[in-house]
Amino acid sequence: MTPDLALGIGANLRKSAYFDATLQAGVRSFSVYNHMLIPAHFGNPEAEYQRLIDGVVMWDVAAQRQVEITGPDAGRLVQYLTPRPLAGTRVGQGRYVPLCNHDGLLINDPVLLKLAEDRYWLSVADSDIHLWAAAIGHERGWDARVFEPDVSPLAVQGPKAVEVIAALFGDWVRALRYFAFRETTLAGIPLVLARSGWSKQGGFELYLTDSRHGTELWNRVAAAGAPFGMIPGAPNDAERVESGLVSYGSDMRLQVVPADPFEMGLGALVDLAGGHAFVGRAALSLRASQPPARQRCGFVIDGNPPAPGHQVALRHAGEVVGVLTDLVFSPRLQQCIGLGLLRSDRLQAQDLTVDLPGGDVRVTPVALPFDRAR
C-alpha cells in the first residue's frame, strides 16, 4: 500500500452514481479514473483482499466508463478500432479488445459488449477513448454515433459472488458464461448484468443504466450480500498483480510507458493473418516482423520495500534494461512481487536491481501469472 495524501473535491472531478453510497459505507480513500472519483479502499485493504479471495466484495467501478457506438456503421467502426477480429461475436457476448493508436502502441484495453448488431459498449480503462473513436468514425465518414451513455458499473467479486447475484436475480445467473451478459432489471432498476470483473476470483458486474438509482442499487446489493459476509472494497492491486491482470495507466500508458501488444503478451489478439483493416495495422505488421525487444513479466522482489507509487527503472550491471511498473506485497505468496517490462535478452537474469527511493533492491524475473510460480 502506498500512503494517502489529501484530495481536493472540486467540480472538475466527477462523482460516481454510487458516490453518496460509498461515503455512507465508509470509504476512506479515493483515486481518480476517467476524470471520476473511484474508491481506493474502505480502511482495511488487507481485509478486502482476503474477502475477495475467500468470500465476496462489492466495488464501485462506475469510473470504468462506457463508450457507446451505435448506428448502421457501428460494427464496422468497432472492428476498425481493434486488431482483434470480432467476426462471430454474438449479441450478449463480451470480448477483451486491446486498442492501439496508428503507431501500434496501446492506448486502452476495454471489454467490448455487443448489445445489438448496431450497438456496442467499450468499457474503458483510463483514457479518453470517446474522443479518439468519434474522431476516427467522423473522419472516415461512417454513420455511427459515439458517446458516453449513462452507465455505472458495480462489481460483485469473489467465489461467493454467484450466491449474491443468484439471490438477487435468480438461479439463471449460474449458467451465464464468462463475459456473457443480459439486459435485465432489479426491482425496476434497469441494468445490464455481466459475468465479468477486474479480478481472477470470479464475479459479476451490474451496469446500471440510470444513475438516479445508484444509492438504491448499492443498498439492495449490499443487503443481498450481507448473509454471505460481503463487504465494500475496491479493485485490489495485490490480487490483480498476483493474477497478472493488465492495468492501463499503471502497467503502460502511451505518454509514460509506451508499449505494443506483443510486448504486453497480447500478440495473440492481433489479427495480422486475417484481412480486416484496423488502426495501427501497418505499424503492428512491422513490429510483428521481429521478436519484441521487451517482454512483460512478473518479478519477485527482495525484502519488503514500500511501493514507490510510480514506475522505476530496472538495471542489470548498471544498465537500464526495463521498467518495474507495479510493486505489491502478495498475501498469497507472502513476498513482494511486481510487474514490468524487461529486455528480452535479460529474461533469465538473476542479478537485476530496481532503483527504489530507499535504495537498490534485487529483483528476479518470473513467468506470469504468479500462480504458476507456486
**Footprint on this chain of a copy of itself (rule: CB under 8 A):** 2-15, 28-33, 35, 37, 40-41, 65, 101-102, 107, 126-132, 134-136, 138-140, 148, 237, 247, 249-250, 253-256, 279, 307-311, 325-326
Least Å distance between CB 327 and a copy of itself? Answer: 8
* 357 burial level (CB within 10 Å; 0-12, 13-18, 19+): exposed
Pair 35, 13: CB distance under 8 Å: yes
The pair phi, psi for residue 47, each rounded to 5°, is -65, -35
The residue with cell 481536493 is 8
Least Å distance between CB 170 and a copy of itself? Answer: 34
- Give the span between the Cα atoms of 360 and 374, in whole angstroms: 26
Cα torsion at 147, 183, 214, 34 (round to 10°)?
-30
Q: Which is nearer to a copy of itself, 10 or 88 (CB)?
A: 10
H-only helix segments in 45-120: 45-54, 74-81
Least Å distance between CB 214 and a copy of itself? Answer: 13
Q: Which is nearer to a copy of itself, 43 or 303 (CB)?
A: 43
Least Å distance between CB 14 and a copy of itself? Answer: 6
Region for residue 270 given its phi and psi (left: phi exceeds 0; alpha: psi -120 to 50; beta: otherwise): beta
H-only helix segments in 121-182: 129-139, 161-169
Compute how many other C-beta atoms are within 10 angstroms of the C-beta atom of residue 310: 11
Tell me which DSSP letter residue 307 carries: P
- Give the span between the Cα atoms of 145 and 296, in whole angstroms: 35
Least Å distance between CB 93 and a copy of itself? Answer: 26
| Torsion sign, CA atoms 153, 159, 160, 166 | positive
Q: Which is nearer to a copy of itself, 135 or 223 (CB)?
A: 135
Angle between helices 74-81 and 129-139 (to 10 degrees): 120
Least Å distance between CB 198 and a copy of itself? Answer: 13
Least Å distance between CB 133 and a copy of itself? Answer: 8
| Torsion sign, CA atoms 230, 232, 238, 243 | positive
HSE, side-chain direction, 13 A CA sphere, residue 124: 29
Least Å distance between CB 248 and a copy of itself? Answer: 9
Q: Which is nearer to a copy of itself, 184 or 209 (CB)?
A: 209
Amino acid residing at 189: I
Least Å distance between CB 104 and a copy of itself? Answer: 11
The pair phi, psi for residue 311, each rounded to 5°, is -70, 145
Q: Which is nearer to a copy of itself, 70 or 247 (CB)?
A: 247
Nearest CA to 151 among 28, 31, 61?
A: 61
Paired residues of 352 in beta bridges: 316, 363
Least Å distance between CB 111 and a copy of itself? Answer: 18
Q: Which is nearer to a copy of itself, 96 or 142 (CB)?
A: 142
Q: Which is nearer to a copy of itself, 89 or 127 (CB)?
A: 127
Q: Which is nearer to a copy of itself, 225 or 338 (CB)?
A: 338
Q: Which is nearer to a copy of itself, 127 or 201 (CB)?
A: 127
Q: Which is nearer to a copy of itself, 56 or 81 (CB)?
A: 81
